[in-house]
Amino acid sequence: MTSQYSGARPITSLQLFLRMRSETSGCKGLACLPGGQAIFTVGVLGVEPFSYQWYFNDQPLTNATNQTIVLNPVSSDQAGQYHVVVSNAFGHATSPPATLVIETPQAPVIVLQPSGDTVANGGFFAFNVLAHRHPSAWQSIG
Q: Do residue 57 and residue 27 come from a single domain? A: yes
DSSP 138: H
> For 7-13, what is the mean pLDDT?
46
Q: What is the pLDDT of residue 79?
A: 93
Q: Do residue 17 and residue 62 come from a single domain? A: yes
Residue 99 region, left (φ>0) first, then alpha (ψ -120 to 50), else beta? beta
d(CA 43, CA 105): 32
> For 56-82, what is the mean pLDDT?
93
pLDDT digits (tens, 9 = 90+) for 22-57: 443 455 557 777 888 888 888 888 888 999 999 999
Q: Do residue 41 and residue 89 come from a single domain? A: yes
The total number of residues written for the chain in this structure: 142
Q: Do residue 19 and residue 44 come from a single domain? A: yes
Domain that holds residue 43: 2-102
**Counted domains in the chain:** 2
Q: What is the pLDDT of residue 3?
A: 40
Q: CB–CB of 44/14 below 8 Å?
A: yes
* Number of Cβ atoms within 10 Å of the Cβ of 130: 10
Taking alpha carbons only, the member of 28, 38, 109 closest to residue 74 is 38
Q: Do residue 87 and residue 116 come from a single domain? A: no
Q: Do residue 8 and residue 76 come from a single domain? A: yes
